[in-house]
Structure 1
Amino acid sequence: MADRPMPFSAPMVRALIEGRKTQTRRIIKKPAALDALNAFGPQFLIKPGNADLTGYSPGDRLYVREEVRFCSQMDEIKPSKLSRHEPRVYTADSMLYEPACMMIEAGKRRPPMFMPRWASRLTLLVTEARVERLQDCSEADARAEGVIAIGAEESPDPDERSFVWAFSQLWDDINGPGAWDANPWVVAVSFTVHQCNIDQMPGGAA
């Protein structure tokens, strides 16, 4: 079991809070080993939860990193140097958190990658991690990614009413044009969402 950060965009943070997102897919950066195993047949692919290649295992705890704003008077101070008692605004839903003092004026936007562990308000408990090609994503999987499909009354094209289509558009928005068509190896991580800081969760890194 391990603790690690995971960044999310504002729309996906809202999906986590609303209970629509219970899966995420991340590109495997070193797919050569997977290509080699796959050449021998599907039975040689790695088993679900094999942390050596997926990087994730059931029981791992992921603290969500998201965009946040601290007081403007702290704009020149790195987030890692700030006190956990600093007031802050989570930009995904404009939630204001004032643990010890009031927010005077919200400062600059801090990208998710710079969020300290103590500032995270969402924790994901991994229940499954499996390796697959991106386009193996099913309708149920795409829906669990938190996307919203277009209603039948809004589009005559059946493809545009599917969750997979909506997820493919989101994937290209995040990773660039043609990213979906590239069909990379990904790790599909399933989890339960807990609306609390990781250090308020029972258990810890082994």
Structure 2
Amino acid sequence: MKVRPILYSTQMVQAIKDGRKTQTRRILKLLPADAKWFADNECEMAIEPRDVPKGFQIFWNDVFDPESDEPIDRWRWFDDIACPYGDPGDMLYVRETYYAYGYWITNGVTATGKHKYRFVDLSCYSVWQDKGFGYRYYDDPPDEILSNSSLGKMGYHKRPSLFMPKAAARFFQKIKRRWAERLNDISEADAISEGVELDIEYQAYKDYQNDNSLYVSAKDSFRTIWEMINGKGTWDKNPFVWCVEFELTDNPWKDES
């Protein structure tokens, strides 16, 4: 079993905490432009060079549903590359924006003569945790947050998720299954599993880009949070994505001394 980090926005961490989010989708890197492409005479459209994920083979699936006479799966996938988030049974620890107790110090200079700085994290030490200076998070922020320009001043500083150490992680996910698909192919059920927020009063889903708007469809709601995180227009590009389904589990390092 391998344990890897994965970054989440604050809103998605809230969805994980609430138990609403059990899936995540991440853009899958594609083939170079000069790669060969795959097509089939039975297909309605060809697959362009950048449309095929690296290491994947795709072919037409001629298995049909006996009732609807529709193909059960248009494409079948065989992945020759490892999913960067792991395989079923592997674990992920959630990296989120957090607050650490410590101070900034100078750490040499760059080749152009500019000062470099390093944050000294004290929250990772039990002696400081016992004094009440452990890690804090968006749902329990410290009363005073120092500016990152407060050189040498000890206190709580806001730290980006990218730099969260595993000692600060509080959510751990065990991968149940993973697959690849086009972003726009997400189902309504999977959009709900992505953690979109339901307005109980109106029984409609949140528009993450407009506080005065709601959607009947969870998929439409997911589109707004996807673009909020990944940028405007990224939904229409309809990239291939890794889809990871998970369940929360215990800290794999809790018994380590």
Task: Answer 1 or 2: which has greater strand percent.
Answer: 2
Residue 200 of structure 1 pairs with residue 254 of structure 2: yes
Q: 2:192 is matched with which residue: 135, 143, 147?
A: 143
Distance change (3 Å), C-alpha of 1:150 and 1:166: farther
Tell me how far 1:175 sits from its aligned partner.
0.7
Q: 1:63 is matched with which residue: 93, 111, 114?
A: 93
Tell me how far 1:18 sits from its aligned partner.
0.9
Deviations 1:46-86 (A, max 9, x none): 2xxx5824332101110110111112x42445367863435
What is the TM-score normalised by the length of structure 1? 0.77
Contact 1:131 1:186 in 2 (8 A): yes
RMSD: 3.1
Tell me how far 1:198 sits from its aligned partner.
3.4
Deviations 1:162-201 (A, max 9, x none): 110010000000111111111100011000013x533138
Identity %: 34
Distance change (3 Å), C-alpha of 1:107 and 1:124: same
* Greater relative contact order structure (CA < 8 Å, 6+ sep): 1
Counterpart in the other structure of 2:83: 54
SS in 2 for 1:64: strand
Residue 34 of structure 1 pairs with residue 64 of structure 2: no
SS in 1 for 2:157: coil
Contact 1:160 1:166 in 2 (8 A): yes
Instruction: State the one-letter code of the partner of 1:200.
Output: K
Q: 1:78 is matched with which residue: 119, 123, 129?
A: 119
Counterpart in the other structure of 1:5: 5
Counterpart in the other structure of 2:210: none
Tell me how far 1:3 sits from its aligned partner.
1.0
What is the TM-score normalised by the length of structure 2? 0.63
Deviations 1:122-157 (A, max 9, x none): 1000000011111111111011111114568487xx
Per mean C-alpha deviation after superposition, the further-off stretch among 174-183 and 76-85 is: 76-85
Contact 1:149 1:161 in 2 (8 A): no
Task: Answer 1 or 2: which has greater helix percent.
Answer: 1
Distance change (3 Å), C-alpha of 1:60 and 1:79: farther
CA distance in 2, matches of 1:12, 1:28: 20
Q: Which runs of 5+ in 1 are unaligned?
A: 97-104
Contact 1:80 1:116 in 2 (8 A): no
Counterpart in the other structure of 2:242: 187
Which structure has the larger Rg over C-alpha atoms? 2
Instruction: State the one-letter code of the partner of 2:5.
Output: P
CA distance in 2, matches of 1:19, 1:79: 33
Instruction: State the one-letter code of the partner of 2:137.
Output: Y
Q: Which runs of 5+ in 2 are unaligned?
A: 32-49, 61-73, 106-117, 129-133, 143-153, 205-213
CA distance in 1, matches of 2:120, 2:174: 25
Counterpart in the other structure of 2:211: none
